[in-house]
Amino acid sequence: MARIVYQKPKLTDIPEMQRLVAEEVERGVILPRRDDEVATNIRSYIVARTDNGIIGYLALHIHTATLAEIRSLIVGREWRGEGVGRALVQEALREGRELGVQSVLALTYSREFFERLGFHEIEKRAIPEQKIWQDCIRCKHFPVCDEVAMMRTL
């Protein structure tokens, strides 16, 4: 098995990150993010990297002094089921604790995955309104969303 390193990406990683997520963006599973948007938020991302390149990533987006969100979780098809997604989320939770975040939100189609990581379902109306108008409105499924809102207290 290849050695996997979890680290902050560089700005030069953006094209590779965009290629990795392109299929899921096309399917409407992950929101599209422009290169400049990824660049502006590059410090919020964590990548999983092998010697062959980036195999997965996510962003830990801070909403408030107490609430963060796991966004854009993607793992390359050939690496799914190998624990990469779990390790990325655990790394994001560790970072959230270091920052003093109290709760972490995730909007997902993969309820069971997040439940195994200690998240529980919440009502969507508990999601901050700024999230809806910043992100959800850009989704191809808005306003008929079948994602599940999940929360974990740190």
Give the residue numbers spanning the domain of 126: 5-153
What does the alpha-carbon distance between residue 42 and residue 126 come to, in Å, rounded to a whole number? Answer: 27
| Residues 54, 13 contacting (CB under 8 angstroms) | yes
Bridge partners for 82 per DSSP: none
pTM score, whole prediction: 0.88
pLDDT at residue 133, rounded to an integer: 44
pLDDT at residue 29, rounded to an integer: 85
pLDDT digits (tens, 9 = 90+) for 22-61: 999 998 888 889 999 999 999 999 999 999 999 999 999 9
pLDDT digits (tens, 9 = 90+) for 129-138: 555 445 554 5
Share of the chain above pLDDT 70, in %: 88
Bridge partners for 69 per DSSP: 61, 105
- Give the CATH number, domain containing residue 36: 3.40.630.30
Mark 57-70 as b/e (b = at least 16 C-beta within 10 Å): bbbbbebeeebbbb
What is the tally of structural domains in the chain? 1
| Residues 74, 27 contacting (CB under 8 angstroms) | no
Q: How big is the chain, counted in residues?
A: 154
State the DSSP string of the chain: ----EEEPPPGGGHHHHHHHHHHHHHHTSS----HHHHHHTGGGEEEEEETTEEEEEEEEEE-SSSEEEEEEEEE-GGGTTTTHHHHHHHHHHHHHHHHT--EEEEEES-HHHHHHTT-EEE-GGGS-HHHHHHTGGGSTTTTS---EEEEEE-
